[in-house]
Structure 1
Amino acid sequence: MSLDPDRLRCPYPVYEQLRQEAPVYWSERLQSYVVSRYADIAAILTKPKLFSSIRQSGPSSVTALAQRLIEDTDTPELLKKQAARRLDISGKPTLINADPPIHVRQRKLVSQGFSPRRVASMEPEVRQIASDLFDKFETRGSMDFVADFALPLPMTVIANVLGVPPSRMADFKRWSDAFTRGVGALDLSIAQIQQIFGAVDEFYDYFTAQIEERRTQPRDDLLTDIVAARLDGEQPLLLNEMLHMLSVFLVGGNETTTNLLTAITLRLLTDNELVTRIRNDTSLIPKLVEEVVRLESPVQGLFRTATEDTDVGGTPIPEGSMIWIVFASGNRDPEAITTPEDIELDGPNGLNHLAFGKGEHVCMGASVARLEARIGIEMMLERFPNLRLASDEVPPVHNSFILHGLQRLDVVNTPR
């Protein structure tokens, strides 16, 4: 896939061409089949035994990077040791890269941490965090919406949920960056790789100590729930399973929600008719969230691996082949979506979108992301009636074909 900024900002014409001309396309660069039609993607997602999640980030993940470092004879010994630790931990399939029955067991063990009751109880805390962040904006009158709100809101929420103190927030951000920096990048230098694995090691060391502390000093947080998780007849989670699970929560709990909040805000500030309608009827915000997550899928797609010879859409797929299932393309497929390119607030347009996955691997934290997005947008519109973009410059995008979002979004508010 291309990492050209214009292509990353708007990959949708390419997806449309793929759907029309080559819905199951072999990519030499990815060494993977690219699947772009909604029906084919949905079918793959509901067949976990045939299409394994074991390499869900494909060739551009921290784990794949670790494998390449170990195989490279020129890799410095310390970096090779760090890469081996990553492989040891991620080599134990956990949630996002686990298949049944392992995935079923793990999901059952931690599902209480994302129960409707637990998520609903988070609303006052989310509102307080959002309010504190907006207080700073109100004082200054301008901000980078990404760095000053869309990033710290979900990051602070997931940090609090995991019991990370405010004094470690800067570290928490570095660790999150380390796990996401390699996803979809494809072009990292040795210096960047060393920085990534140094931060990954810090993350593992910190949470290994925290896990041991929770065994003897439990708290009311998700980490304690994970450590204490027990089901009749099921083995408790092992240390490496917990560490891998926490890295999944770290990335899923903030990076994707940051991109969603930013995408919604950009849409509102560039569409006067839309923002006026939402201001006049804030009950439409949940539907707006679903439509923007469909149109601007923060995770453009994930990978699956064929466990046997099969076919997708009539195209033969040999056993062992990787398949990139492009959620963002399926979410704009006219065969599945009534008005695929438009925000539709009145009908069932995006009710069955793929942005949070489908089947076994539907995102556990989707309800938290929806809560944060709803509250964030609701409070932003209430507090800043004259919010606008600071300039007409095109915002820079992330250097990733998987994680889709803006690096920054400068906004200003004119006082009432």
Structure 2
Amino acid sequence: MSTPDTARCPIDHAAMLGPTGCPISPGAAAFDPFADGYQQSPPDYLRWSREQEPVFYSPKLGYWVVTRYDDVKAVFRDHQTFSASIALEKITPTADEANAVLASYDYAMNRTLVNEEEPAHMARRRVLIQPFTPEALAEHEPMVRRVAREYVDKFIDDGRADLVDQMLWEAPLTIGLHFLGVPEEDMDQLRQYSIAHTVNTWGRPQPEEQVAVAHAVGNFWQLSGKILQKMRQNPDAPGWMPYGICKQKDYPEVVTDSYLHSMMMAGIVASHETTANGIANALKSLLQQPDVWQELCDDPSLIPSAVEECIRHNGSVAAWRRLATRDAVVGGVHIPAGAKLLIVMSSANHDERHFADAGRVDIRRDNASDHLTFGYGSHQCMGKNLARLELQVFLQEFTKRLPHMRLAEQRFDYLPNTSFRGPKHLWVEWDPAHNPERAHPAILAQQQPVRLGEPSRQTVTRPMRVERVTRLTDDTVLLRLVAANGQPLPKWQPGAHIDVECGSAELSRQYSLCGDPADSGAYEIAVLRDAASRGGSSWVHEQLKEGDRLRIRGPRNHFRFDESAKKAVFIAGGIGITPIAAMAHRARLLGMDYEIHYSGRSRKLMPLLDTLIAEHGARLHVYPKDEGHRADLTALLATPQPEVRLYACGPERMLGALQACTAHWPDDTLRVEHFQTEPPTLDPAKEHAFEVELKDSGITLPVRADQTILSALKAANIDVQSDCCEGLCGSCEVRVLGGNVDHRDLVLTRGERDAQDRMMVCCSRAVGEKLVLEL
């Protein structure tokens, strides 16, 4: 083989190799976080990466870039391998002249909660966290409302405003100063200094700008020190910094003088800029979709969930940085020790693998609070609930007083940097003659409660209307549900289910979606009338009719269909055909090899049978019991087949038989969905007490013999998603870092159980005396 003549090639092939010797793709070579594409929308700019190359090396930046949800979360989780020590390191090294300027101000910004490592980080976090708890933040709510009201008062009658210049920059700074305990003064200087700090750390200032930036940062540092000295004169005053000064007396080695100075400056930036940008981003996202904005104005109880969705969809913190302390693997890619990583949370928050229809603003999204904008694990943002408080109150003020507000025609510009983003300006318009308070002054006294520290899944429902009720069999009806507001519904994948409130919020039941996933206008579920019903199916059959309203949560999917498999074998019994029907439909569209085995008492009692016959023909095998036909599962599954997936849903007896028939098949070949179970009960005489160590929270909780882990967590104010509390829905899944689990759920596969790395805390327990959980 001849050696190619590279002398004529315009590309420097040596430069196209990464630090591990692997070729750099065109997308990776072109990646530039300071370009307008990234500034306008990091998730859209990095869509190619999430789809093709989720971990890549950027030669322009000198960093490894991580863009998918699971990979970003894994980096956050492993704080020993991926150190936060470079989080505040200048991403663009400054020239000697600028460094000399900083030195002239005695600039000594050191470790803060953002960039320090264990064990120092958690020790300080525990000492300083109390003012950030939801209970402590409640006392600040009246102040936040007062500040928001005063700023809106200034322009409510103007009909046009730049919300950033006229409110969203100064108001969060004022609130941040109150929270920190800083006097309201030097606001203009603080604004300039805060911008300079962002440019200095995360931006790319040109050489001629670096000196000016250095002067501003130096002045910011000195002003922070002066404010701190004033506070020392009155350490009993309210505020987080006086709280830290008092704690210094008890923990002088933990809360040092230099640490307080660094936190003074960092606290101003964190409480000010990220919140200001976050509110601007939220309003921009909502106003860009007038139907969503109107829905929020009509139902302000949705504001807490809207806040979580806005933080996910368009958060103010786009990325953080980490340093690999040893060789590691992220997303299947080797990361060498000493490598720097840019972990892009804004991209992870748009990962379709975790957030269905991720590009859409869905203020009823039930897993919006899974977002990574606040980070994850031990370095999760300590001020997250302060930001939530401000966002909720500000949205309450705008939806109440300016529901007719709309975006003005404009181009949105951003301060070029890798990590923090919000529009420089946000122009809105409205007709002051239509201000609601002119006709109804009493609305100013109305206010919605603020909800902090609560996962969205438990509280967010979607109003639906029953468009059609079709009787499939004597004991089964098909419901076609459409959104009450007529809008398209979130996308779903085969195997997904929704939670239906059957007459009340206290009675919720899970039903698999069996319609066409491509139909965004409606969800379809089939409901069997169960003689042993505990209220759900009897309510559907006896009370629900066309035109009625109900509420749902979801969709959620813990019964996922693997589209990469060579062949799929579907096994269903009775009403268990509902998720199988959607999976088989998808398999046919993909051109996959598949077969369906459907058992029932009689043909007339087998839901969807005629539709399945018409769609799948000879691939469908039907076993009506009254005709003497029974599926021979033992013979069907006698020989394991490579690259085959088995999917089953039906009565517990059938699923138990399948487990036995496939014991000799590879782990995780069989995937099952349970549609009924007995409510779990705990007999203290047969159970034992144990402990759960919450690794990320740094605390250990006792779990009594008559208590579930979930109830112990809630009693300790630890937020965990939950719904059915029967081990069916998978909402309460948490990762297990240590100990052996007594699995009692009906969600995990055999291989997942054997791995001992996850559990459902609503029902599963410890085999031994202790479990270590990733919470």
Query: TM-score w.r.t. structure 1 length?
Result: 0.90
1:54 aligns with 2:94: no
1:17 paired to 2:48: yes
Q: Which amino acid aligns with 2:65?
A: V
Structure 2 equivalent of residue 27 of structure 1: 58
Partner of 1:206: helix, strand, or coil? helix
Q: Distance in 1 between matches of 2:333 and 2:231?
A: 50
**Structure-2 separation of matches of 1:150 and 1:170:** 14
Structure 1, unaligned stretches of length 5 or more? none
Residues 303-353 of structure 1: per-residue CA shift (max 9 Å, x gap): 100111111112111111101111011111111112211122334232211
Query: Which residue of structure 2 aligns with residue 81 of structure 1?
Result: 103
Judging changes above 3 Å, is the alpha-carbon distance between structure 1 residues 236 and 359 closer, same or farther for their aligned structure 2 residues?
closer
Shift of 1:44: 0.8
SS in 2 for 1:396: coil
Asked if 1:212 is matched to 2:265, the reply is no
The answer to whether the Cα contact below 8 Å between 1:183 and 1:403 also exists between their aligned partners in 2 is no
The letter of the residue matching 1:332 is H
Deviation, structure 1 residue 76: 6.6
Between the aligned partners of 1:313 and 1:366, the Cα distance in structure 2 is: 28
Give yes or no for contact 1:306–1:323 (8 Å, CA) kept in 2.
yes
Post-superposition shift, 1:285?
0.8
Out of 34, 41, 48, which is 1:3 matched to?
34
Q: 1:3 offset after TM fit, Å?
A: 2.5
Residues 394 and 237 (structure 1), Cα distance of their counterparts in 2 relative to 1, 3 Å cut = same
Who is 2:419 aligned against?
402
Cα deviation, 1:263-312, whole Å, max 9, x if unaligned, reads 22122322121011101110111111111111112111111001111111
The answer (yes or no) to whether the contact 1:58–1:322 under 8 Å persists in 2 is no
Please point out which of 61, 66, 69 is paired with 1:38. Answer: 69
3-state SS of paired residue (1:121): helix
* CA 388–399 in structure 1, closer or farther in 2 if over 3 Å, else same: same
| Contact residue 151 and residue 167 of structure 2 kept, 8 A | yes
User: Cα distance 1:17–1:82, how it changes in 2: closer, same or farther (>3 A)?
Assistant: farther
Show the counterpart of 1:195: 212
Which stretch shows the higher mean deviation, 209-218 or 402-411?
209-218
Counterpart position of 1:268 = 286
Which residue of structure 2 lines up, in the alignment, with residue 129 of structure 1?
147
Amino acid aligned to 1:300? A
Match of 2:757 in 1: none
Which residues in structure 2 correspond to 1:217-296 (within 5 Å)? 217-218=234-235, 219-230=237-248, 235-296=253-314
Query: Bigger shift: 320-329 or 135-144?
Result: 135-144
Is the CA contact (8 Å cut-off) linking 1:30 and 1:59 kept in structure 2? Answer: no
Mapping of residues 146-157 of structure 1, within 5 Å: 146-157=164-175
Distance 2:430 2:362 in 1: 27
Q: Which residue of 2 aligns with 1:324?
A: 342
Counting matched residue pairs gives: 401
**AA aligned opposite 1:384:** L
CA contact (8 A) 2:345 2:373 kept: yes
- Whether 1:345 aligns to 2:363 is yes
Q: Residue 186 of structure 2 aligns to a residue in which SS?
A: helix
SS in 2 for 1:324: strand
Q: Percent of aligned pairs with the same residue?
A: 27
User: What SS does the corresponding residue of 2:323 show, helix, strand or coil?
Assistant: strand
1:94-133 equivalence runs, <5 A: 94-133=112-151
Provide the residue aligned with 1:161 in structure 2.
179
Correspondence for 2:352: 334
- For 1:23 and 1:82, how far apart are their aligned partners in 2? 43
Mapped to 1, the partners of 2:99 and 2:71 lie a distance apart of 43
Deviation, structure 1 residue 174: 2.0
3-state SS, counterpart of residue 364 of structure 2:
coil
Shift of the alpha carbon at 1:80? 5.5
Measure the CA separation in 2 of the matches of 1:194 and 1:298.
Answer: 27
Secondary structure of the structure 1 residue equivalent to 2:238: coil
Offset of 1:233 from its aligned partner?
Answer: 6.6
> Which SS does the other structure have where 2:428 is aligned?
strand
Name the CA distance, whole Å, in 1 between partners of 2:89 and 2:215. 22
Say whether the 8 Å CA contact 1:278–1:284 is kept in structure 2: yes
Which structure shows the bigger proportion of residues in helix conformation? 1
Indicate the structure whose relative CO is greater, using CA pairs within 8 Å and at least 6 residues apart.
1
User: Which amino acid in 2 is paired with 1:409?
Assistant: L
Amino acid at match of 2:109: I
Runs of 4+ in 1 over 6 A off after TM superposition: 231-234
Mapped partners of 1:10, 1:76: distance in 2: 31
In structure 2, the gaps of 5 or more residues are: 1-31, 435-775
Which amino acid in 2 is paired with 1:380? F
Q: Distance in 1 between matches of 2:214 and 2:298?
A: 48
Q: Structure 1, residues 129-188: CA drift from partner, whole Å, max 9, x if none?
A: 011100101143321111111111211101122333333212221221221123442233
- Write the distance in 2 (CA, Å) between the matches of 1:161 and 1:358: 23
Match of 1:8, SS? helix
Q: Distance in 1 between matches of 2:371 and 2:44?
A: 19
Q: With the length of structure 2 as denominator, give the TM-score of the two structures.
A: 0.50
